[in-house]
Amino acid sequence: MTSFMRVLTTLLGNLLPRLLLSTALTASATEMPKLVNKNGHFEFDVEGRPYLILGAQIHNSSAWPSVLPKVWPALEAMHANTAAAPVYWEQMEAKPGQFDFENVDLLVKGAREHNLHLVLLWFGTWKNGNMHYVPTWVKTDTTRFPRMVNPHGEPLDVLSANAPANLNADKNAFAHLMRHLKELDGEIHTVLMVQVENESGAIGTVRDFSPMAERQFQSAVPAEMKTAGKSASGTWPQVFGGEADEYFQAYYQARYVNAVVEAGKAEFPLPMYVNVWLAYPVAQLPERQYAVPGQGYPSGGAVQKMIAFWKRNAPAVDMIGPDIYSDNPDFVLDTMRAYHRSDNPLWIPEIGFSDNYAKYFFSAIGNGAIGFSPFGVDHAGWMTAENGGPMMHAQNYQLFAPAAREVARLIAEGKVKTAVEEIGQARQEIDFGDWQAQVSFGFPQRDGVAPPGTKDAHGRAMVAQLGPDEFLVTGFDASVAFHVPGRLPGLRMQILRAEEGQFDGDGSGHNVWKPLRLWNGDETDRGLNFRQQPTWVRLQVGRF
């Protein structure tokens, strides 16, 4: 080799990997995470490809350097691909104008080391309808930072949404956070999106009754307020009648949050969403009567009946996501359907961590969700998988983690359907038009006898249509039998090929199907049987 060749080889040897790395970084630099609306089906693109958020939210006081070592192993055991973790205003700006990003930096570093993405939760003006996370200098200066006042004239533990000083302080802090994130993560995109505030709203009053807010309430509604079907001229009571108080609060709050989002996006335009403390039906009241705003839920939040109003008045907010803490099946499904709209992707930012909520992961993906995130997943809180806590969410994520990209694509194409067991509904049908899948929950299943169901109704199954006669099937404690409409399984149809396989990452964010064996005989004769093992089957069926 000539000396010229030697130099060239050395140079290439040293430089090529770096060049490739920098190309990879540049490539990802252009690929901001983004939400794409495909005719009402949503896709969340990460590195330019559909991504399914297998999320896990850590406890409120777990995003501290001293606690993070107890967080990462729990997320690993959960098989999550994304951690949701708070950023505390009180810590980040403990002194006005002085910002400390140590917690955020460690979150991002830790997530990268554990091969996770992050959703950051901005605990700013609101946390669960109160102001608990604002810095002490805000808490103690009630003149500069006005509180909400209840109808009896008493100030509350909630900042007023009608006070510009409150908004400006929050906006400023949030903008600093987003500027810092851009510097820290603007190329790599470990952080996928940001939740702005946490369950915003007012606990303790339906609206602000301070003299300032009272004057606004008795004046004409703002010209820029967007309503549907109702005249938007007149005072609040004239326009909204008996619901005027709640709409007043919702309007000023939606505008406030929208302004915080805009300030953050001006620095770094990641997708941003709000989460909602829902209005739950009150047991004593007739069906579908909901709790009182300001008591049963924080007034002004984007609860079920306020989604459209919030969408219109907070257009910079990309998504509104429901926090689900009732496992009543009707409530869960009504909620998912209410928040999945042609203008709002379905994203479940919080749901109970106990096993009884796990099957609703299947309901979420069957309803087009871009992601799902149980609350309280770490080893610092009260419920952990390691100390014998619930495991079914982890079982779901273990199954879906290697297939997440593929499933996200299928969801965005509207091809994923699911069946979720409920008490007394051990047999269900999934309808694909020319084909139907009969799902039977619980084992053993005997000929001529209805399926037994599982003890706690946790069975769940997913069927995705890959082609006219081809399906991808999985589930737990379920058997899935295909048939032509109006005929029993096995009549005038046959299984052409039932291939069990796994998804493997190919290192570039794609999922590659790896066949393992063909199922036949006992594995297919009475339906494809999915028990506790994480298993996928690609099925080809034919008519004769």
Catalog residues that contact ligand DGJ under the rule CB under 6 A: 60, 128, 198-199, 323, 350, 375
Residue 380 or 403 with smaller CB distance to ligand DGJ: 380
- The DSSP 8-state label assigned to residue 221 in this structure reads P
Q: Which residues contact 514 (CB under 8 A, 6 or more apart)?
A: 501, 502, 503, 504
CB of 319 to ligand DGJ, least distance (A): 15
CB of 79 to ligand DGJ, least distance (A): 22
CB of 352 to ligand DGJ, least distance (A): 8
In b/e form, how buried is each residue of 1-33, taking b as 16+ CB within 10 angstroms?
Answer: eeeeeeeeeeeeeeeeeeeeeeeeeeeeeeebb
Residue 43 or 350 with smaller CB distance to ligand DGJ: 350
CB of 197 to ligand DGJ, least distance (A): 10
CB of 354 to ligand DGJ, least distance (A): 11
| Burial tier of 285 (Cβ tally within 10 Å: 0-12, 13-18, 19+) | exposed
Residue 199 or 318 with smaller CB distance to ligand DGJ: 199
Residue 166 or 198 with smaller CB distance to ligand DGJ: 198
Residue 301 or 402 with smaller CB distance to ligand DGJ: 301
Residue with nearest beta carbon to ligand DGJ: 199
- Order of strands, sheet of 427-431, starting from the edge strand that comes earlier in the sequence: 427-431, 436-441, 478-483, 528-530
Residue 127 or 417 with smaller CB distance to ligand DGJ: 127
Q: Which residues contact 202 (CB under 8 A, 6 or more apart)?
A: 129, 148, 156, 158, 208, 249, 294, 298, 299, 300
SS3 of 322-348: the string is EEECCCCHHHHHHHHHHHCECCECCEE
CB of 258 to ligand DGJ, least distance (A): 20
CB of 128 to ligand DGJ, least distance (A): 5
Would you state the structure tokens that stand for residue 303, as one six-digit string?
Answer: 């609860």
Whole-number Cα distances in Å, 321 to 135, 198, 286, 435, 513: 26, 11, 26, 33, 32
Residue 189 or 393 with smaller CB distance to ligand DGJ: 393
CB of 520 to ligand DGJ, least distance (A): 47
CB of 479 to ligand DGJ, least distance (A): 35
CB of 119 to ligand DGJ, least distance (A): 13
Q: In angstroms, rounded to a whole number, what is the distance separating the alpha carbons of residues 86 and 197?
A: 10
290 in helix, strand or coil? strand
Q: In angstroms, rounded to a whole number, what is the distance separating the alpha carbons of residues 281 and 278?
A: 10
Nearest to 499 by CA among 461, 466, 454: 466
Residue 60 or 216 with smaller CB distance to ligand DGJ: 60
* Bond into 444 cis (ω within 30): yes
β 147-149/155-159 pair status: antiparallel
Residue 174 or 435 with smaller CB distance to ligand DGJ: 174
Would you state the structure tokens that stand for residue 452, as one six-digit string?
Answer: 């037994």
Whole-number Cα distances in Å, 474 to 121, 366, 411, 481: 33, 13, 15, 12
Residue 199 or 477 with smaller CB distance to ligand DGJ: 199
Identify whether the C-beta of residue 347 lies closer than 8 Å to the C-beta of residue 383: no
